Structure 1
Amino acid sequence: MVDFVFWEGWMQSFPDASGLFDGNEEKRSDHRHFLVYLDGIHQSEESHPPRVQEFLNCLESEIANDSLLVKGIEAYTITDVGLRAASYSRWFWQWLFSLQEHHPNKFVQFVCAFCIQANNVIKVGISSDRRYGPVMNYELALKIARRLEQLNFHPSHASRVVLVGYSGGAEMAIGTAEMLQKLCCSPVQVITICGVFSGNAALESIQDVAMVVGSKDPVAAFGRLAYPGRLSLLPLTNWNRWQRSHCLHRYLINHMSHNGSSGPFSVAFRQKVVAAICRELERSLVSSSAS
């Protein structure tokens, strides 16, 4: 609820971003590459489901030693607290989570889970909206920047920030990329996994965007129809203008679907997705060094 009262002016104006990272110059992190994972619409709190956590553990073990994987960011709240701790609606979400986790009736559990995901779907829609999206995307970018600040990130030492977005998290990643780049004063790269995104966001200053896609993913395929801004029939959209001046890299994984036993976090495809992400990280690093 606190995310929605923001639009009505019940909260104070934009948080002040000046002074970010000022205190990290002396204690800056040894890491140069920061990978920030943004989960899909199933996310309900900072902790990730077991299958996603296993995927992240696998990714963490494969990335270079000078890279840090940032987990646990709630992509669908604009404040630093999760739904359970939101000041205006804590009671509602705690009640809903309790029913989802402990109610003996499976149908009630399903309805509660659906309500949580519906909240996240609304946030994806807001992020893609040309009128209200920039406000929410700025808030999320600032939230990510503050997490990086806690990890002793400093622009003078960091080479890049990589946003890794799964499903609806891809929209949140693309929507915040350019704003995050300005806040962090460091290049930002985007990698989507089975991404569902509009392509409405401004991407002019973003050099690298890559997509890890499954050949049997109906959800991501439907996203292209739901968001016509990605269709080649509309050449003046932000997404198509970006593609005319940049190279979009696609990593196709045969037989992979959107979720479940054949999704990117399954045992069957987890390692292939991690390998694709690592290939893209290496490719973009070599490309930036050459330029």
Structure 2
Amino acid sequence: MISSLLFTVFLVGAFALMLTAALAPIETLSWWAGWTEDEIEHPAAPPHRDGAERRYVVYLSGVASLSGRFLLPRETVFIRKLRSELPDATIISDVFPYSPSGAPLLETPRLFGQLWRRVQFFKLSERRTFLSVLTNLRNIYQVMVSADRRYGPIFNQGAAKVIEDALADAGYVRGSGAPVAIIGYSGGAQVAIGAAAFLRARIGAPIDVIGLGGVVASDPGLKYVRTYHHIMGDGDNIQRFGAVLFPDRWKAAAYSDWNAAKREGRIVKHVMPDMIHAGVKGYFGRPLVNGVSNGERTAKKIASLLSV
């Protein structure tokens, strides 16, 4: 009886995995065709304030994300700490990076709408279930689409438009020259770099990317990033997958975008001691170690990079 149940769960999981993989590029192509362009409405931008003087920071969540409006509790605490460290910056944290239209999984008519809402319930209560794995897999496939040389330019153009709209909603003035920094956690770093080329062309301002345990490819967007700060925990094995999975990051690919950016000094690595990719010992960990949490250490590190 138990073996039969386990086999059924395995079959359902395998089917969901294959279906998610097959649908990953289709969502990008449907956005490009204009079938999903009306999924999200953006409010009118507020009156111009001090857009030319302020620094704008956009946070892109990791592959566990369901919606930019519903961050995990530890991410919410991290964003609060980051705002306290950068009181003069406008920090935007409601962007969903794993859809070219920016449509959160929870807010559009999708085949698995009820499933995503159930997953959100477990995530906000910080409970780990098999359903959470499906979210991670779905978003990982979107990261792979972003890194793909065929579909990536389409996906990344959509991501750049979503980020630009979020900046405009926060008061950013196009052409003001105000610098923009994008913080990408895990797969969010790949989306940030992929979108950089299109975003820079749209706003005409320098763009810096900060990857927190970033799993990134040798993306052409690196040519348009002023500096990519690669923050990595010394115990974070997940971020190392990028260096293995993407051959253009290997040393043998001397003329790849990644290695060219390294030679030019535009990729800077920062090792964080006693940190892993996620969980209580991750970049947003809340337990105190010598009176300071990992989330606070990460916020201070980012603030120091952005204050230079």
TM-score range, shorter chain: 0.7 to 0.9
Aligned counterparts of 2:230 and 2:82: Cα–Cα separation in 1: 16
Aligned counterparts of 2:214 and 2:32: Cα–Cα separation in 1: 33
Note the C-alpha offset of 1:245.
Answer: 2.1
Report the counterpart of residue 238 of structure 1 in structure 2. Answer: 257
Percent identity over the alignment?
24
Report the counterpart of residue 79 of structure 2 in structure 1. Answer: 56
Over residues 57-97 of structure 1, what are the superposed CA-to-partner deviations in whole Å (9 max), with x where a residue is unaligned?
Answer: 000110142x100011101012243112224x2xx332213
Note the C-alpha offset of 1:14.
Answer: 11
- Count of matched residue pairs: 267
Contact 2:143 2:191 in 1 (8 A): yes
- The partner residue of 1:176 within 182, 195, 202 is 195
Q: Does 1:210 align with 2:232?
A: no
Report the counterpart of residue 108 of structure 2 in structure 1. Answer: 86
Quick one: which amino acid aligns to residue 149 of structure 2? R
Distance 1:175 1:2, change over 3 A: closer
Distance 1:101 1:171, change over 3 A: closer
Note the C-alpha offset of 1:145.
Answer: 0.4
Q: Does 1:140 align with 2:159?
A: yes
Report the counterpart of residue 65 of structure 2 in structure 1. Answer: 43
- Give 4+ residue runs of structure 1 displaced > 6 Å after superposition: none
Quick one: which amino acid aligns to residue 61 of structure 1? S
Note the C-alpha offset of 1:10.
Answer: 8.2
Q: Does 1:227 align with 2:246?
A: yes
Give TM-score, length-normalised by structure 2. Answer: 0.79
Note the C-alpha offset of 1:138.
Answer: 0.3
Report the counterpart of residue 6 of structure 2 in structure 1. Answer: none
Quick one: which amino acid aligns to residue 301 of structure 2? A
Aligned counterparts of 1:181 and 1:10: Cα–Cα separation in 2: 20
Secondary structure at 1:262 match in 2? coil
Report the counterpart of residue 3 of structure 2 in structure 1. Answer: none
- The partner residue of 1:201 within 196, 206, 220 is 220
Over residues 239-258 of structure 1, what are the superposed CA-to-partner deviations in whole Å (9 max), with x where a residue is unaligned?
Answer: 11122223322221111111
Give TM-score, length-normalised by structure 1. Answer: 0.83
Aligned counterparts of 1:85 and 1:11: Cα–Cα separation in 2: 20
Quick one: which amino acid aligns to residue 173 of structure 2? H
- The partner residue of 2:298 within 273, 278, 289 is 273
Contact 2:196 2:224 in 1 (8 A): no
Distance 1:259 1:80, change over 3 A: closer
Distance 1:233 1:156, change over 3 A: same
Gapped runs of 5+ residues in structure 2? 1-22, 38-43, 123-127, 287-292
Distance 1:13 1:188, change over 3 A: farther
- The partner residue of 2:178 within 159, 174, 187 is 159
Alignment of 1:2-151 (within 5 A): 4-7=26-29, 11-12=33-34, 27-31=47-51, 32-46=54-68, 47-65=70-88, 67-87=89-109, 89=110, 92-100=111-119, 110-151=129-170
